[in-house]
């Protein structure tokens, strides 16, 4: 059974804060929930399904359901890192199809910036019950060097260059200049990126995403309820999810879980990469974008460097406008998890509500893809294809 057309995204709201030292994580979640419901034209009491992931404080959905005092008959706290919220749109659609809920609320929020987290380079906490950590923690892998090893291997196999990766940041910065909420609004050049300090070879500081506070929320509902609301209709067309790790030691850092989740989503939606007018592509680092674009089929494997160069990702300039809010690279990476903002900007584009300077003309089909966890060790991938009705 396909999820195609079986549910609509009727509410999408991104918290405007990027630094919230005076708000709790729970408060941010609740503010996002309120914002998305107001955007949809629905009320708190309409929510009968709640979806969250690891950023929600407490035990799965329990504490946030109680904090917001929701009366729900379906919950799901699937945690595949920053890609969770993209997968949760599909899970919400499945629950709606099965009659388990009518109005699904998905929230994300966090404040790593206020808490002073060094997300990319912090030593990761070891729990000996996590089987891989026993064998890996001694070597102090961190977020930055695990992604960097993917970039190093990609450069080795395909000749990808730092300048090509830099184009991804350049494109994001061109979009962020129009977003008043973006953390980094200055347009940068390829030279700015490759001359920024090295964090973990070959990734420079400007190859990395921002560390920001904030959050977002989505409302997914039944087709008949969506048609009774006043918002432009954005329907779910197809989805895929996958987990990729070290495969028993058959490590291959040249591709991501998008290689599996992407084709599943395209097949379900009945479209191809050529049909996608706008793409939200998870951008924890520039290399993340490049690998996902290849794996999703926007260009052949190994050709990502050429594909992203010369402004090809810049709205109004290139063939594939991406992350027109500025993405995680320049706008926002709330809770160190960018999945929900990927869906929110795709919904803005499909509604025609993106900033006029970055709005894609006649944007009828869009894709959001996320990578959660750590690309260089083990990660989740989730792909979602949406259509304006």
Q: What angle do CA 63, 67, 69 make, to 5 degrees?
A: 110
Query: Under the criterion CB under 8 A, does residue 135 sit at the interface with another protein?
Result: yes
Read off the tokens for 15: 């918290």
| Interface residue with another protein, options 59, 116, 139, 356 (CB under 8 A) | 139
Query: Under the criterion CB under 8 A, does residue 205 sit at the interface with another protein?
Result: no
Report CA-CA distances (Å) from 80 to 1, 121, 157: 23, 20, 28
Query: Under the criterion CB under 8 A, does residue 153 sit at the interface with another protein?
Result: yes
Nearest distance from C-beta of residue 144 to another protein, angstroms = 7
Nearest distance from C-beta of residue 215 to another protein, angstroms = 30
The mark string for 230-269 relative to another protein (x by CB under 8 A, - otherwise) is ----------------xxxxxx-x----------------
Cβ atoms of 19 and 249 closer than 8 Å: no
Query: Under the criterion CB under 8 A, does residue 211 sit at the interface with another protein?
Result: no
Q: What are phi and psi of 255, to 5 degrees?
A: -140, 165
Of 35 and 373, CB closest to another protein: 373
Q: Look-up: residue for tokens 């594909």?
A: 307
Query: Under the criterion CB under 8 A, does residue 150 sit at the interface with another protein?
Result: yes
Of 180 and 249, CB closest to another protein: 249
Rg of the chain over CA atoms, in angstroms? 19
Bond into 173 cis (ω within 30): no
Nearest distance from C-beta of residue 165 to another protein, angstroms = 14
In angstroms, rounded to a whole number, what is the distance separating the alpha carbons of residues 235 and 6?
8
How many Cα neighbours within 13 Å face the side chain of 368? 29
Query: Under the criterion CB under 8 A, does residue 145 sit at the interface with another protein?
Result: yes
- How many of the chain's residues bind another protein (CB under 8 A)? 37
Nearest distance from C-beta of residue 244 to another protein, angstroms = 14
> How far, rounded to the nearest angstrom, does the alpha carbon of residue 353 sit from its chain's CA centroid?
19
Nearest distance from C-beta of residue 375 to another protein, angstroms = 12
> How far, rounded to the nearest angstrom, does the alpha carbon of residue 302 sit from its chain's CA centroid?
23
Query: Under the criterion CB under 8 A, does residue 144 sit at the interface with another protein?
Result: yes
| Binding segment toward another protein, per CB under 8 A, in 33-41, 146-154, 315-323, 334-342 | 146-154
Of 248 and 356, CB closest to another protein: 248
Per DSSP, what are the bridge partners of residue 215? 109
Query: Under the criterion CB under 8 A, does residue 180 sit at the interface with another protein?
Result: no
Query: Under the criterion CB under 8 A, does residue 286 sit at the interface with another protein?
Result: no
| Binding segment toward another protein, per CB under 8 A, in 130-138, 159-167, 337-345, 379-387 | 130-138
Which helix H or strand E contains 282, and what residues bound it? none
Of 122 and 317, CB closest to another protein: 122
In angstroms, rounded to a whole number, what is the distance separating the alpha carbons of residues 257 and 246?
12
Tell me which residue of 221, 297, 302 sits closest to 8, measured CA to CA.
221
Query: Under the criterion CB under 8 A, does residue 377 sit at the interface with another protein?
Result: yes
Cβ atoms of 95 and 69 closer than 8 Å: no
Binding footprint of another protein on the chain (CB under 8 A): 121, 126, 128, 131-132, 134-142, 144-146, 148-150, 152-153, 156, 198-203, 246-251, 253, 377
């Amino acid at each position: 059974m396909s999820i195609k057309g079986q549910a609509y995204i009727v509410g999408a709201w991104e918290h405007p804060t990027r630094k919230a030292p005076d708000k709790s994580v729970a408060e941010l979640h609740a503010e996002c929930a309120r914002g998305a419901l107001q955007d949809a034209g629905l009320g708190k009491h309409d929510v009968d399904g709640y979806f969250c992931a690891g950023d929600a404080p407490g035990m799965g959905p329990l504490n946030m359901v109680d904090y917001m005092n929701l009366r729900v008959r379906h919950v799901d706290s699937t945690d595949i890192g920053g890609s969770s919220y993209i997968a949760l749109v599909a899970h919400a659609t499945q629950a709606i199809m099965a009659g388990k809920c009518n109005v699904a609320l998905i929230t994300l929020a966090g404040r790593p910036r206020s808490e002073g987290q060094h997300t990319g380079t912090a030593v990761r906490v070891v729990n000996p019950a996590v089987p891989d950590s026993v064998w890996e923690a001694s070597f102090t892998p961190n977020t930055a060097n695990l992604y960097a090893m993917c970039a190093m291997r990609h450069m080795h196999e395909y000749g990808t260059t730092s300048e090509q990766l830099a184009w991804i940041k350049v494109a994001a910065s061109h979009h962020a200049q129009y977003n008043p909420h973006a953390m980094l609004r200055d347009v940068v050049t390829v030279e700015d990126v490759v001359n920024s300090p090295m964090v973990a070879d070959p990734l420079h500081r400007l190859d990395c995403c921002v560390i920001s506070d904030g959050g977002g929320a989505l409302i997914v509902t039944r087709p008949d309820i969506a048609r009774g609301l006043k918002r432009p209709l954005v329907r779910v067309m197809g989805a895929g999810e996958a987990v990729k790790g070290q495969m028993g030691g058959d490590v291959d850092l040249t591709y991501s879980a998008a290689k599996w989740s992407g084709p599943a989503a395209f097949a379900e939606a009945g479209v191809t990469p050529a049909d996608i007018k706008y793409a939200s592509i998870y951008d924890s680092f520039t290399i993340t974008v490049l690998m996902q674009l290849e794996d999703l089929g926007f260009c052949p494997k190994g050709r990502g460097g050429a594909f992203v160069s010369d402004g090809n990702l810049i709205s109004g300039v290139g063939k594939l406008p991406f992350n027109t809010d500025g993405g995680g690279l320049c706008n926002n990476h709330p809770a160190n998890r960018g999945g929900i903002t990927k869906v929110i900007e795709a919904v803005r584009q499909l509604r025609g509500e993106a900033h006029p300077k970055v709005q894609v003309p006649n944007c009828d089909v869009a894709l959001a893809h996320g990578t959660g966890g750590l690309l260089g060790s083990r990660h989740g991938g989730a792909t979602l294809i949406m259509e304006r009705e």
